[in-house]
Structure 1
Amino acid sequence: MTGISSLGVGSGLDLNTLVQQLVAAERAPAEGRLNRLETRFESQISALGQVKSSLATLEEALANLTGVEDARSVQLSDETAFSATATAAADVGRYNIEVFELARAQSLASLGFADPDAALGAGDLTISLGAGDPVTVTIAEGANTLRDVRDAINDADAGVLATLVRDGAEWRLLLSAEESGLANTVSVSVAGTLDGNLASATMTETVTPADARFSVAGLELTSSSNVVDDVLPGVTLNLRRLTEAPVELAVGRDAEATRATLDEFVTAYNAMIDLSAELSSFNTETGERAALNGDSTLRSIRGALPAALGADTGALWNAVELGLRSDRNGKLSVDEDAFTARLAEDQTEVLASLRGFGETLSQNMAIYTDADGVLASRTESLQSSLRSLELRRDQLDRRMESVEARLTRQFTALDQMISQMQSTSSFLASQLANLPLARSGSDGQ
């Protein structure tokens, strides 16, 4: 609003402030309504964002529930000799395992070189690892020191690692196979003018290659690696040291992993129930309503959550029959006895029933959480309403400018009229003072 600095000059009254106060008084009710609507829309958008975040956490837990597998647990009577992991493909059973020898990678050491920066000639190094294809490394003039040879071998990706070691006053080239086992022996030949001491035939074997030797249930086996994953289906053994006596490996069904996945879901589900109760609450003492009190979208979500508990998913049991219980507030818990009994009865069917329940509830939630779902549409509608408030504020500003202009005109006219009346009054007073009667009366005094 633009103030009129000359307003009130004629009357001596602060008419400019009066105009501003009258305009503010007329603006206040409309502006208050717009502010309340803006606060409500923003609160609802924020609340819907909280709902969307909570449902995203629930969907993640449901994805784990939908993908739950017949997990396996492993137990070892001695955890120092080897470790073991098992997938759902592993057979349930017990196995006695002994480790007689660990797999080793071959290492070779060259004869000593006095200067690692001296030129060693030029030509080709041909590197072979076991029965694999040979790899040729070209050593050129100007890049043919012992250090250069080391770097060229490592850059060749031939399955052989080269290092330099100082042995007293001399330097040795060490070659080590990257893979262990008898089949992975290192062979190096030289051609051209390269120093013959770079050939493996002149080197000393510092570590003899070896296959791992072990037994499973008395059956003796070998492996080129200490990581053995092709003997017991679904089981990976990581051999660490030799055993003094058989070590028992027990592979069983991992009910704890299944229960942990279910507990993760229950936690996420109950968090959503708590949030929905908070966002829909009403304080009877203060009359204060939460952002989504009475909101149809939130009521619909609250109804969709428990609906899946007793739904027929095509599996043997529904969620209630598996042991999921809902209290009067809608929060879930797991009936320990019921769930344990179902696991003991048929763990495979329990997993299938959990997957079916997870898929059903995921489908129910997708209506709300998809990119074009209910929550996205509702949020966009509220954001559109916020944008419309800006238009209404612009309209209010223009209307108030018109009101201010009208009041300014009216008060300007009033100011001018008062000014004229004051001028007339002063003139009349002056004329009356100059009348003969007025002078004589003054002289008589």
Structure 2
Amino acid sequence: MTSTSATSATGSIISALGAGSGIDMAKLASDLAAAQYATRIDRLTAKSEKLEAQISAASEIRSMMLSLATSLGDRVRVGDLSAQPSLDNAAVASAALSGTSRPSGTFSLEVEQLARGQMLASGSFATRDAAVGAGTITVRFGTVATGSFAEDMSKPGVDIAIAPGATLEETAQAITASGAGLTAYVSDTVDGARLVIKGADGAASGFVLDVAEDPADAGLSALAWQPGSATGTLLQEAQDARVKIDGLSRTSPSNTLTDAIPGVVLKLSDTNAGAPTTVRFADAGGAITGAMQDLTAALNEIAGVLNEATNPLGGDLSRDSGARALRQAFSALAGRVVMPGAADGEPRTLSDLGLKITRFGTFELDPERLAETLKRDPDGVAAMFTNGVTGVYATFDSLSRSVSAVGRPGSLAGSLSRYNAELARLGEDQAELAEDQEETRARLASRFAVSDSRIVGYQSTLGFLENQIAAWNADKG
């Protein structure tokens, strides 16, 4: 077949050589160079277009698989397929899933006390801009209780340097910025300005203040504090949270408890001593039918694109190993075991959830099969929709990861990497060919310019001779 570029270039050459019309040497050089390289340019262009189509098809399928796995994961973790916790008394705490396990059943929760941090106030100063003296404040950590201090030797003390002339306000800023985990501010009370220091939650986060003051700028010792000292006021002792879960007591240095109830994060906000509340979990069973309908529709959408791309008669990915591997995985999806640890009689495959594959490579949902499985073993079905290492989500997440694994030559991502590398090489070849064509055009143009100059000279001589002959003939007449 004669290429479009070659045909166009040949036609231009014939036009440039039009009888009696003169020759456009620059255009002739350009058309000859184009004709010489047209076949190779067309071949590279065709390869480039094919690669771009393959990249587009592979990218679309990979993106669709990632979108399916992501949306399914979101529904399992925090959406309608998750067993979201709730409390009968929502004022006591908020609850969310931790993701470590799938909780079920009910739990009683009694919050006897909340965790809190130590709060200490200094003696009064005239104003917040009053100088406090210079030296070093050393913060030591431990448990402050019943007028005593038990230092936690695993926590190193923190030294805070107070410069000469520092004010109470500047001292508060230095304490906050020290990295000791304390926050400090100045409170303008009716008795004067007082430095307030607050520690982290938990009984072991209590603290004392030792002071080594600068004799040349005395006064900082007024901020020293030990249990029972007269230089400050203990506004609040540090304490752990104390709760009862199903009647069993436990403590926590924080008001956030992770997996105290398996699979749940509790954030305590109030106490309910003597009046336990119930933590219960939403039943995701009602959402599973809708989720399977959505999954079937999504699989059909992907299968449609995949089947078209791998069609032996003109499919962009008909010879792509990654696309063929995914199509083969799709053909085995219905019977794939997604719960390898399931006991005999428990649901273990997607076909148990009603998923079927047709002879056309598309999917159908058998609602009766799904309803029968849900009725027979609702807990087993619910267990298939978790974010663990097995189950429906894990299956599609694994499939999506295998499709996106760049390091695997047989994956779609591996194919994409190869196609992009080939396209880059083609781009270099096209650029090199364009340079060669331009060099050829320039060389021909230079030669034709010489020829054109000679032709002009010949035409000038011919015109002179014709004029002479005409003059001679006139004289004879």
SS, match of residue 97 in structure 1: strand
Q: Distance in 2 between matches of 1:168 and 1:214?
A: 38
Aligned-pair CA distance for 1:55:
4.6
Counterpart of 1:284?
none
CA distance in structure 1 between the partners assigned to 2:306 and 2:219 by the alignment: 79
Q: Secondary structure at the match of 1:308?
A: helix
1:154-176 Cα offsets, whole Å, 9 max, x none, are 34444433221112472101122
CA distance in 2, matches of 1:144, 1:122: 7
Does the 8 Å CA contact 1:313/1:353 hold for their aligned counterparts? Answer: no
Amino acid at match of 1:199: A
Opposite residue 237 of structure 1, the aligned amino acid is: L
Residue 234 (structure 1) aligned with residue 263 (structure 2) = yes
Residue equivalent to 2:104? 92
Choose which of 158, 163, 169 in structure 2 pairs with 1:147.
169
1:128 paired with 2:140, answer yes
Matched with 2:126 is 114
Match for residue 60 of structure 2 among 54, 64, 77: 54
Larger radius of gyration: 1
Equivalent of residue 305 in structure 1, options 309, 326, 333? 326
Distance 2:438 2:316 in 1: 32
Q: 1:247 to 1:334 in 2, by over 3 A?
A: farther
Counterparts of 2:475 and 2:264, CA distance in 1: 127
Is 1:75 aligned with 2:86? yes
Deviation of 1:27 (Å): 5.0
Structure ranking higher on relative contact order (CA contacts 8 Å, 6+ apart): 1
Q: 1:78 to 1:339 in 2, by over 3 A?
A: farther
C-alpha spacing 1:258/1:383, structure 2 compared with 1 (3 Å): farther
Please tell me whether the aligned partners of residues 57 and 317 of structure 2 are also in contact (alpha carbons under 8 angstroms). Answer: no
Distance 1:161 1:381, change over 3 A: closer
Q: Deviation at 1:95?
A: 1.5
Distance 1:21 1:428, change over 3 A: same
3-state secondary structure, aligned to 2:271: coil
Q: Distance in 1 between matches of 2:219 and 2:400?
A: 72
3-state SS, counterpart of residue 75 of structure 1: strand
- Measured in 2, the distance between the counterparts of 1:364 and 1:155 equals 49
Distance 1:395 1:135, change over 3 A: closer
With over 3 angstroms needed to count, the CA separation of the structure-2 counterparts of 1:433 and 1:157, relative to structure 1, is: closer
Identify the residue that residue 428 of structure 2 maps to in structure 1. Answer: 387
Q: Distance in 2 between matches of 1:408 and 1:222?
A: 97
Specify whether residues 188 and 393 from structure 1 end up closer, same or farther in structure 2 by C-alpha distance, changes over 3 A only.
Answer: closer
State the alpha-carbon separation in 2 of the partners of residues 16 and 94 from structure 1. Answer: 95
RMSD: 4.6
| Higher alpha-carbon deviation: 356-365 or 197-206 | 356-365
Q: Which amino acid aligns with 2:116?
A: R
Q: Pick from 205, 212, 224: which aligns with 1:199?
A: 224
List runs of 5+ in structure 1 lacking aligned partners: 1-12, 282-291, 439-445
Task: Give the aligned partner of residue 431 of structure 1.
Answer: 472
Aligned to 1:177: 199
Give TM-score scaled by structure 1 length.
0.70
What's the % identity of the aligned pairs?
22
Matched, 1:367 2:409: yes
What CA distance in whole angstroms lies between the structure 2 residues aligned with 1:383 and 1:234? 49
1:282-301 alignment, distance < 5 Å: 293-296=314-317, 300-301=321-322
- Whether the aligned pair in 2 keeps the contact of 1:308 and 1:361 (CA below 8 Å) is no
Q: Which runs of 5+ in 2 are unaligned?
A: 1-19, 144-150, 341-347
Which residue is equivalent to 2:277?
A: 247
Aligned residue in 2 for 1:165: 187
Match of 1:106, SS state, is: strand
**Residues 28-75 of structure 1 deviation map (CA, whole Å, 9 limit, x = unaligned):** 555655664455444344434434533543564587689989965313
2:22 is matched with 15
Which residue identity is paired with 1:204?
T
Is this contact kept in 1: 2:112–2:243, CA < 8 A? yes
Residue 346 of structure 1: aligned partner: 380
Report the residue type matching 1:344 in the other structure: P
Structure 1 residue 124: deviation in Å? 4.8
What whole-Å deviation, never above 9, does each CA across 1:92-124 have from its counterpart, x for those lacking one? 221122334433333222221114444444555
The amino acid that maps onto 1:380 is A
